[in-house]
Structure 1
Amino acid sequence: MSTGEGRDRDSEGRARSARPRDGLGRPLPYGAPGVERQPEGVVRTPEETVAQAQRLLDAGMPFHAHEVFEDAWKSRPADEAALWRGLAQLAVGLTHAARGNAVGGARLLRRGARSVEAAGGTHGMDVPALVRWAGELAHRVERGEAVDAAREAPRLRGGGLE
């Protein structure tokens, strides 16, 4: 549904952009070929979430991985929220860093690292390595280094970069 202002909205008035997006989630012109969006509201097991997010991260699509983590954040038990929210923030931090937004990228990488580190459960993820990865990448981004999302993708299980 679209309002008179040209913004895509769902039946309850929430923004739902129908514009195609590139691999880093940037909107493209209507009609341009884009990367298929992740379906919203998918309930996955933690293992499925980590596997799907890792595939997207490895493909250089951290924005799309963030959407997978966001589904887990919203559908998993409340005591796991900090973990999934933190992972979503790490993915968005990588997205911003790859887009050249050093301030936003570094801020979200550090915020996500704090959330992941404070979370209780890990579902087999190497939390210390993820926290280390986020801190190192945030530092490099602040120094002005360019970031390639696929090359910088963290290993969610097995520690740090591949």
Structure 2
Amino acid sequence: MLESSMLCITRKIVPVSSPITLSEVKSFLRINNNQDDTLINNLITMASEYAQWYIEKSLMKQTWEISCSRYIPGKIQLLFNPIIKVNHVKIIHTNGSEELIDQKYYHVNTVLSYISFNKHIHGDRIEILYEAGYTDNALIPAQIRYGILHHVAISYKNRESENINNLTFIKNIYSPFRELKLVL
């Protein structure tokens, strides 16, 4: 019997810092004043978010919740790696009651970014709350940081118009970090 699950992922806690700093961007752009600091900070946030969503990785520490309804599989991929830790796994039953699953009933593979269960999970929905992201800016690959810097620079210099070729340039920088997905 083939059953399908419904997966939903939600970011519960956003990063408190950015992969690159205002001073790094100002140095890169050769800006010596504070006149556009607010704009540049907003561009850093935008470019960082774009990078994260495009490569599907958490660049800075943040908290995610993935939920699976209906059929609960024995293994669930944890998106937006690298995985730092799983905070809890919770089952929501049909009657609305909740049950925390003991860690001895699941295994988290932080390298391959998945959680597998040692026993069949019964319930209407499972919720997995986990932390993901690089714990230090120095661990973020230089090419990703370079892409964010260039995205901010392009956006700052071309505020009036968005050139699609510039976005293609940025995507090409990030493309080695995208994981190939096969849909069956």
Q: Give the TM-score of the pair, scaled to structure 2.
A: 0.26
Does 1 or 2 have the higher relative contact order (CA < 8 Å, sep 6+)?
2
Which structure has the larger Rg? Answer: 2
Q: Give the TM-score of the pair, scaled to structure 1.
A: 0.28
Higher helix share: 1
Higher strand share: 2
